[in-house]
């Protein structure tokens, strides 16, 4: 887990432009409804940043689940429907009948296209609701739901690979915020996708809001899934806001049996109790213990010969300095790296330093090196 920069785009930066890019007339109606809720989404974005900022009271756990966004009643039907500029009278009448809003008209068949458009642009949602009795239709016209927001995310941001559309630029920008392409949730997986910190199925106000979108590896994205417990001590670590780079939170111990394996855990000695609980949730739900323990086995195998060599060359004392050097070198890059923790665990294990180290050679089939005659330096160079 590491801190990343905020996205270079806010919702406002790309919203209008995103909706003007062609996605076929099929999305016109979706565009109209999205434009109608723009100011709501912008307000929600500001609230999100305010709540998440460490210097403010509260946190993202204060955000309320929302699966429908109300379209302001002052919006006109014309704005919500967002008709294409070119439409024939026949198509328009068909559309109006299909959307079941024809009862609003007295003599629809006799009206010209411009007259119909003018009428739609003059009647606001409030009036429409009073005149239409169909509750399903009223609901449909009054709200943007999770399905519509999911569509907006997928059609305008995700499924535009290779395009120069603004939606794809926003998506690409978020992917590029990671360091060395490493997933900021696990610091191990390669960034392949974008995760909604607050899941889009339950917090639809933030389905396309950049600050709620994070670069992520496929495994973390899958493990995090739609987890949405809103409690102060149960929130995942948020790489935009939670700066924990100087907190030693990861622990590791040697499982003192052959072949050597390691167990990872969240340390108990973290002063900030809420942070500790959040780290535990993050660590458990994203299965980081399993991930790191598996990585550690092969990493250690690759280091055994080096450790044996150090041990054999220093009068058979445990190579404490060299283990410390390896640990510190990796910690310099990342204080909580699972690789650094292997060395820390080895240094903490009396079993390893006093007993196991003598058997490494045989347990791991390291070929014994014959003591070579040490030639003077010039001979090493000139043969
Ligand atoms: Zn990950």
Q: How far is the CA of 200 from the centre of ligand 1 (A)?
A: 19
Lowest-confidence range among 156-160, 235-239, 251-255, 345-349? 156-160
Integer Cα distance of 222 and 199 in angstroms: 12
pLDDT at residue 25 is higher than 70? no
Q: How far is the CA of 218 from the centre of ligand 1 (A)?
A: 7
Q: How far is the CA of 113 from the centre of ligand 1 (A)?
A: 54
Residue list, CB under 5 A from ion ligand 1: 183, 185-186, 189, 217, 220
Angle at 141 between CA 127 and CA 23, to 5 degrees: 130
Q: How far is the CA of 167 from the centre of ligand 1 (A)?
A: 24
Q: How far is the CA of 166 from the centre of ligand 1 (A)?
A: 26
What was the pLDDT predicted at 299? 97
What was the pLDDT predicted at 1? 82
What was the pLDDT predicted at 371? 52
pLDDT at residue 263 is higher than 80? yes
Q: Which two tokens stand for residue 110?
A: 């006799």
What was the pLDDT predicted at 22? 62
Q: How far is the CA of 221 from the centre of ligand 1 (A)?
A: 7
Integer Cα distance of 154 and 207 in angstroms: 10
Q: How far is the CA of 1 from the centre of ligand 1 (A)?
A: 9
What was the pLDDT predicted at 380? 53
Q: How far is the CA of 309 from the centre of ligand 1 (A)?
A: 35
Q: How far is the CA of 202 from the centre of ligand 1 (A)?
A: 22
Contact of 28 with 203, CB cutoff 8 Å: no
Q: What's the pTM value of the predicted model, to 2 decimals?
A: 0.88
Q: How far is the CA of 173 from the centre of ligand 1 (A)?
A: 18
Q: How far is the CA of 3 from the centre of ligand 1 (A)?
A: 14
Percent pLDDT > 70 in the chain is: 94
What was the pLDDT predicted at 369? 67
Contact of 334 with 340, CB cutoff 8 Å: yes
Q: How far is the CA of 265 from the centre of ligand 1 (A)?
A: 17
Q: How far is the CA of 41 from the centre of ligand 1 (A)?
A: 28
Q: How far is the CA of 190 from the centre of ligand 1 (A)?
A: 7
Q: How far is the CA of 191 from the centre of ligand 1 (A)?
A: 7
pLDDT at residue 143 is higher than 80? yes
What was the pLDDT predicted at 24? 59
Query: HSE on the CB side for 66, CA within 13 Å?
Result: 16
Query: What does DSSP say about strands 193-196 and 143-145: parallel, antiparallel, or unpaired?
Result: unpaired
What was the pLDDT predicted at 55? 81
Q: How far is the CA of 216 from the centre of ligand 1 (A)?
A: 6
Contact of 276 with 244, CB cutoff 8 Å: no
Q: How far is the CA of 283 from the centre of ligand 1 (A)?
A: 11
Q: How far is the CA of 182 from the centre of ligand 1 (A)?
A: 8
Q: How far is the CA of 339 from the centre of ligand 1 (A)?
A: 16
Integer Cα distance of 317 and 254 in angstroms: 19
Q: How far is the CA of 192 from the centre of ligand 1 (A)?
A: 9
pLDDT at residue 375 is higher than 90? no
Q: Domain spans of the chain?
A: 250-363
Angle at 120 between CA 119 and CA 121, to 5 degrees: 90
Q: How far is the CA of 347 from the centre of ligand 1 (A)?
A: 28
């Amino acid at each position: 887990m590491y801190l990343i920069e905020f996205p270079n785009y806010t919702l406002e930066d790309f919203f209008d432009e995103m909706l003007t890019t062609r996605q076929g007339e099929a999305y016109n109606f979706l565009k109209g409804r999205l434009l109608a809720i723009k100011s709501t989404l912008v307000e929600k974005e500001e609230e999100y940043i305010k709540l998440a900022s460490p210097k403010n009271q509260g946190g993202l756990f204060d955000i309320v689940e929302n699966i429908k966004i109300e379209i302001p009643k002052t919006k006109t039907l014309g704005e919500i429907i967002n008709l294409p500029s070119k439409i024939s009278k026949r198509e328009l009448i068909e559309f109006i009948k299909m959307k079941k809003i024809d009862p609003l008209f007295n003599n629809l068949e006799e009206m010209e296209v411009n007259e119909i458009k003018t009428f739609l642009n003059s009647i606001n949602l409030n009036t429409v609701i009073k005149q239409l009795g169909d509750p399903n239709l009223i609901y449909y016209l009054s709200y943007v739901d999770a399905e519509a927001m999911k569509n907006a995310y997928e059609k305008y941001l995700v499924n535009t690979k290779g395009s120069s559309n603004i939606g794809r630029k926003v998506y690409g920008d978020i992917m590029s915020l990671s360091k060395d392409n490493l997933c900021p949730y696990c610091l191990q997986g390669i960034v392949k996708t974008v995760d909604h910190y607050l899941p889009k199925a339950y917090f639809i106000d933030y389905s396309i809001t950049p600050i709620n979108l994070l670069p992520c590896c496929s495994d973390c994205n899958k493990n995090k899934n739609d987890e949405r417990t809103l409690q102060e001590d149960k929130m995942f670590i948020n790489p935009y806001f939670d700066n924990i780079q100087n907190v030693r939170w990861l622990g590791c111990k040697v499982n003192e049996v052959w072949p050597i394996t390691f167990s990872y855990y969240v340390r108990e000695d973290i002063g900030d109790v809420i942070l500790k609980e959040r780290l535990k949730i993050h660590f458990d739900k994203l299965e980081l213990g399993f991930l790191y323990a598996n990585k550690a086995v092969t990493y250690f195998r690759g280091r055994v010969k080096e450790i044996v060599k150090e041990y054999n060359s220093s009068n058979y004392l445990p190579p404490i300095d060299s283990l410390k050097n390896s640990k510190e070198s990796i910690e310099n890059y990342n204080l909580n790296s699972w690789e650094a923790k292997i060395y820390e665990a080895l240094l903490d294990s009396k079993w390893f330093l006093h007993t196991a180290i003598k058997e490494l050679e045989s347990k791991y089939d390291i070929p014994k090196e014959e003591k070579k005659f040490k030639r003077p330096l010039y001979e090493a160079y000139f043969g």
